[in-house]
Structure 1
Amino acid sequence: MRLIHLCYLPLIAALAACSSTEAPRSEQAGAPSNDGRCNAQGVQNLLGEHASSALVESARSKAGAEQVRVLAPGDAVTMDYNSQRLNIDIDEAEVVERITCG
Structure 2
Amino acid sequence: MSSLNVLKSLLLATSVTLGFCSMPAMAEEDGKCKAVTINFLVAPEATPALLEMLRRESGATEIRVEVPGKGYTKEYNADRLRVMVDENNLMQSYMCG
Give the TM-score, by structure 1 length.
0.64
Task: Provide the residue aligned with 1:76 in structure 2.
Answer: 71
- Please tell me whether the aligned partners of residues 48 and 96 of structure 1 are also in contact (alpha carbons under 8 angstroms): yes
- Pick closer, same or farther for the CA change 1:71–1:37 going to 2, 3 Å: same
Of 71, 86, 91 in structure 2, the residue corresponding to residue 91 of structure 1 is 86
Instruction: Please state which structure has a larger fraction of its residues in helix.
Output: 1
Offset from partner CA, 1:68-102 (integer Å, 9 cap, x none): 00001012100000001000000011111011000
- Please tell me whether the aligned partners of residues 39 and 65 of structure 1 are also in contact (alpha carbons under 8 angstroms): yes
> Mind listing any 5+ residue stretches in structure 1 that lack a counterpart?
1-28
**CA root-mean-square deviation:** 1.8
Deviation at 1:58, TM superposition (A): 1.0
Task: Provide the residue aligned with 1:45 in structure 2.
Answer: 39
**Identity among equivalent pairs (%):** 34
- Please tell me whether the aligned partners of residues 36 and 57 of structure 2 are also in contact (alpha carbons under 8 angstroms): no
Residue 93 of structure 1: SS of its match in structure 2? coil
Deviation at 1:33, TM superposition (A): 2.9
- Pick closer, same or farther for the CA change 1:32–1:52 going to 2, 3 Å: farther
Deviation at 1:31, TM superposition (A): 1.2
- Pick closer, same or farther for the CA change 1:89–1:59 going to 2, 3 Å: same
Counterparts of 2:77 and 2:47, CA distance in 1 = 23
Task: Provide the residue aligned with 2:10 in structure 1.
Answer: none
> Mind listing any 5+ residue stretches in structure 2 that lack a counterpart?
1-23
Counterparts of 1:58 and 1:100, CA distance in 2 = 14
Amino acid at match of 1:53: P
How many corresponding residue pairs?
73
Counterparts of 1:64 and 1:98, CA distance in 2 = 17
Which has the greater radius of gyration? 1
